């Protein structure tokens, strides 16, 4: 009986799914080997358990638990906090993880290599989609048992928890498909991430307007609220949290919010992936090569071949020879980094579309605020979605601009060239910061305009509007410096984007959850401070891991633990109608954190980037 040679090739390939192919198979096999995968799962579960414990301590510290009804009330409130939290986290990470995974490969030019293989379009698109959503799917499965514990407390049915998990899974599929399709369509990382976030916000805003009856009480013979529940995952979750929603909901063959939204989300994901499958090899390789080739050919044809080098030299000294044609040179200025960020299309020409969409979004929010002010003074329910949400989107856009300003150059190998030049650390850092301010000026200024509208509509006093604007500027400066700091200190671009955007996300979510718990379990400040200490310490540890694990310093350590504490104090000061104390806490903490990140970036630039400049300035 013949035996196979140990050097003989294997008789069969490793098992892989037919539709998603080896791209997903590789991610499926390598993901469990990464230590941060298990750390992320454990950290999320521990965070939810700490949140449950904190809410219970707040309840026990503010009132006496007498009977089963108090447990049911506690379970219902915790369910109302966890359901939107889990949904928001799933949508955020599914969309940005799939978008960043493909954009990272396109920046490194490795995606073009996949196009040269015999992978089919469906295997390429669906493989990247499934691989990008794998981590988010694992997190959803990890939090599902903790999330189901709320049903044991009473006040929440098991079907409600199951419906919320179904909605979260469907929303994950739709958001991941959106991020993957946009990443395959666009060439630059900033364009991809910004377009994905804006698409989700616009989609949510449209169906929020539908739910409020701005387009009529009925659409196509059905109640407008039913359409918003079927199309928006947030409205579907809110409808599921109401016990009688199934009896009140009816949209064609669907009698439950979970069923209606799942059908819409799966159909939307199918349409997006179908478009991506049909167009992936039309969109890629990058289409930016074609205008350059056409421009080069036209310039060569425009210059007569009979010109001599002497005649070319007789032209203005402000010209240079480019092939057979001539191209006028431009004065770079004292800081070439700032000149490149401001005077060139470093992030592609499609960023104009992103600026226009964000401007229209803020204009719609301002118009809605003005219209609501004609009938009555806008309440907090009107101010939060119309002012706070555009500010959150603006902070994400600023942070994306900051982190991609470094990671895009690292992926293109341009950062290595800059490190061997005589550029100083101050020229690089302040040039990048100036470019971020210029390229994200709409995201920086339009929230200030909304603060002015709050004063104009009498939703806030002049003092409160000014203090709110000051708090926004300090938060925007922190988001800007955070992205630059993480981009410099993390060598892997995909992880840098995840850490930077994840930090902004968890800060926003932490603030929202803390406010929700404090409002739900109203009580004294002393009773709420003690149970929140665990959350504050946990948030500080998370911030230190994100900010100082690669380049630690005492200032970064202090800023990491100061931010959660000062944020908690700012929230409580705002709730007790003390805006000045809230501003001082916010501006002081986030200003100190910005300085703590800026100073090492300038004076320890060589340590962060690995550049060796010993003795260069002296010579």
pLDDT of residue 530: 61
Chain Cα centroid distance, residue 615? 41
Chain Cα centroid distance, residue 583? 25
Let me know if residue 276 belongs to a domain.
yes
CB 230 within 8 A of CB 259: no
Query: What mean pLDDT do residues 302-315 have?
Result: 37
pLDDT of residue 287: 56
What DSSP string runs through 200-242?
HHHHHHHHHHHHTTTT-SEETTEEHHHHHHHH-HHHHHHHHHS
Is the per-residue pLDDT at 561 higher than 70?
yes
Are 169 and 269 found together in one domain? Answer: yes
**In the block, which residue shows the tokens 């364009």?**
191
pLDDT of residue 71: 76
Two tokens at 564? 């959660």
**Which tens digit of pLDDT belongs to each residue from 564-574?**
878 777 766 76
Of the residues 239, 262, 286, the one at which a domain ends: 286
pLDDT of residue 481: 93
Task: Indicate the burial class of 12 (C-beta count within 10 angstroms; 0-12, 13-18, 19 or more).
Answer: exposed
Query: Could you tell me the pLDDT band of residue 257, with boundaries at 50, 70 and 90?
Result: confident
Are 239 and 388 found together in one domain? Answer: no
Separation between Cα atoms, residue 189 and residue 412, nearest integer Å? 12
Separation between Cα atoms, residue 529 and residue 58, nearest integer Å? 9
CB 472 within 8 A of CB 451: yes
**In the block, which residue shows the tokens 């090739």?**
9
Query: What mean pLDDT do residues 230-258 have?
Result: 76
Let me know if residue 35 belongs to a domain.
yes
pLDDT of residue 117: 86
Top pLDDT among 214 and 229 is at 229
Is the per-residue pLDDT at 129 higher than 50?
yes
**In the block, which residue shows the tokens 């240079």?**
320
**Which tens digit of pLDDT belongs to each residue from 280-297?**
999 888 655 445 444 444
Let me know if residue 160 belongs to a domain.
yes
Let me know if residue 329 belongs to a domain.
no
Are 257 and 347 found together in one domain? Answer: no
Query: What mean pLDDT do residues 204-225 have?
Result: 80
Dihedral, CA atoms, 432, 437, 439, 445, nearest 10 degrees?
Answer: 170
Are 119 and 257 found together in one domain? Answer: yes
Let me know if residue 294 belongs to a domain.
no
Let me know if residue 575 belongs to a domain.
yes
Q: Is the dihedral of CA 470, 203, 353, 343 positive or negative?
A: positive
**Which tens digit of pLDDT belongs to each residue from 6-51?**
444 444 444 445 556 788 888 788 777 777 778 777 878 887 887 7
pLDDT of residue 7: 45
Query: CB under 8 Å to 341, separation ≥6 — which residues?
Result: 405, 431, 432, 434, 435, 436, 438, 439
Is the per-residue pLDDT at 353 higher than 80?
yes
The total number of residues shown for the chain amounts to 619
Query: What mean pLDDT do residues 175-202 have?
Result: 91
Q: How many domains does the chain have?
A: 2
Are 249 and 397 found together in one domain? Answer: no
pLDDT of residue 532: 66
pLDDT of residue 6: 46
- Give Dmax over CA atoms of the chain in angstroms: 98
Query: Could you tell me the pLDDT band of residue 370, with boundaries at 50, 70 and 90?
Result: confident
Of the residues 286, 320, 355, the one at which a domain ends: 286
Nearest to 452 by CA among 515, 362, 380: 362
The domain of 433 spans: 343-609
Are 237 and 356 found together in one domain? Answer: no
pLDDT of residue 613: 54
pLDDT of residue 617: 42
Of the residues 270, 286, 302, the one at which a domain ends: 286
Are 203 and 79 found together in one domain? Answer: yes
pLDDT of residue 148: 79
Name the percent of the chain lying above pLDDT 90: 20
From the CB of residue 211, how many other CB atoms can be counted at a distance below 10 Å? 21
DSSP state of 152: G
Let me know if residue 113 belongs to a domain.
yes
Are 408 and 520 found together in one domain? Answer: yes
Top pLDDT among 579 and 231 is at 231
Are 470 and 579 found together in one domain? Answer: yes
Are 243 and 356 found together in one domain? Answer: no
Let me know if residue 7 belongs to a domain.
no
Summarize the chain as % helix, strand, coil (round to 5).
Answer: 75, 0, 20
Query: What mean pLDDT do residues 396-402 have?
Result: 93
Are 259 and 372 found together in one domain? Answer: no
CB 601 within 8 A of CB 433: no
């Amino acid at each position: 009986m013949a035996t196979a040679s140990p050097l003989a090739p294997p008789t069969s390939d490793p098992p892989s799914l037919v539709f998603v192919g080896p791209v997903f198979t590789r991610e499926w096999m390598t993901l469990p080997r990464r230590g941060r995968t298990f750390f992320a799962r454990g950290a999320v579960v521990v965070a939810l358990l700490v949140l449950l414990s904190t809410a219970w301590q707040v309840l026990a510290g503010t009132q006496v638990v007498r009977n089963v009804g108090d447990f049911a009330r506690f379970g219902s409130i915790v369910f109302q906090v966890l359901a939107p939290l889990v949904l928001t986290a799933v949508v955020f990470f599914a969309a940005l993880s799939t978008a960043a995974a493909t954009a990272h490969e396109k920046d490194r030019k490795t995606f073009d290599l996949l196009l040269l293989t015999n992978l089919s379009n469906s295997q390429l698109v669906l493989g990247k989609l499934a691989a990008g959503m794998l981590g988010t799917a694992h997190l959803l499965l990890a939090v599902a048992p903790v999330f189901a514990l709320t049903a044991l407390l009473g006040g929440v049915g098991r079907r409600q928890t199951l419906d919320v998990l179904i909605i979260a899974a469907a929303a994950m599929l739709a958001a991941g498909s959106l991020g993957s399709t946009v990443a395959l369509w666009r060439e630059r990382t900033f364009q991809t991430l910004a377009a994905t976030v804006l698409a989700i916000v616009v989609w949510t805003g449209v169906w929020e307007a539908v739910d409020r009856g701005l387009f009529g009480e009925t659409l196509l013979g059905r109640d407008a609220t039913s359409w918003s529940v079927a199309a928006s995952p947030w409205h579907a979750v809110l409808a599921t949290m109401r016990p009688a929603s199934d009896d009140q909901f009816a949209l064609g063959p669907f009698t439950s919010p979970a069923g209606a939204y799942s059908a819409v989300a799966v159909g939307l994901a199918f349409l997006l992936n179908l478009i991506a499958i049909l167009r992936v090899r039309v969109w890629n390789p990058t289409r930016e090569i074609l205008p350059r080739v056409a421009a080069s050919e036209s310039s060569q044809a425009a210059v007569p071949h009979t010109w001599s080098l002497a005649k070319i030299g007789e032209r203005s000294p402000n010209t240079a020879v480019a092939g057979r044609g001539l191209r006028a040179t431009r004065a770079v200025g004292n800081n070439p980094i700032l000149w490149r960020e401001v005077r060139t299309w470093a992030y592609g020409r499609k960023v104009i579309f992103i600026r226009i969409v964000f401007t229209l979004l803020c204009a719609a929010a301002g118009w809605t605020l003005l219209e609501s002010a004609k009938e009555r003074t806008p309440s907090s329910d009107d101010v939060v979605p119309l002012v706070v949400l555009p500010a959150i989107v603006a902070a994400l856009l600023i942070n994306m601009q900051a982190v991609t300003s470094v990671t895009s150059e690292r992926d293109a190998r341009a950062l290595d060239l800059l490190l061997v030049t005589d550029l100083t650390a101050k020229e690089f850092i302040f040039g990048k910061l100036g470019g971020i301010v210029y390229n994200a000026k709409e995201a920086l200024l339009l929230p200030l305009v909304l603060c002015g509208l709050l004063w104009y509509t009498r939703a806030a006093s002049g003092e409160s509007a000014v203090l709110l604007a000051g708090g926004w500027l300090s938060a925007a400066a922190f988001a800007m410096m955070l992205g630059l700091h993480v981009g410099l200190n993390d060598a892997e671009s995909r992880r840098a984007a995840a850490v930077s955007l994840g930090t902004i996300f968890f800060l926003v979510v932490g603030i929202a959850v803390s406010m929700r718990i404090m409002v739900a379990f109203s009580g004294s400040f002393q009773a709420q401070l003690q149970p929140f200490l665990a959350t504050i310490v946990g948030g500080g540890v998370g911030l230190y891991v994100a900010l100082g694990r690669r380049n630690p310093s005492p200032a970064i350590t202090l800023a990491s633990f100061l931010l959660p504490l000062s944020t908690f104090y700012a929230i409580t000061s705002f709730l007790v109608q003390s805006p000045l104390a809230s501003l001082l806490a916010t501006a002081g903490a986030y200003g100190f954190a910005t300085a703590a990140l800026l100073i090492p970036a300038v004076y320890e630039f060589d340590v962060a980037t690995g550049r060796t400049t010993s003795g260069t300035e002296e010579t």
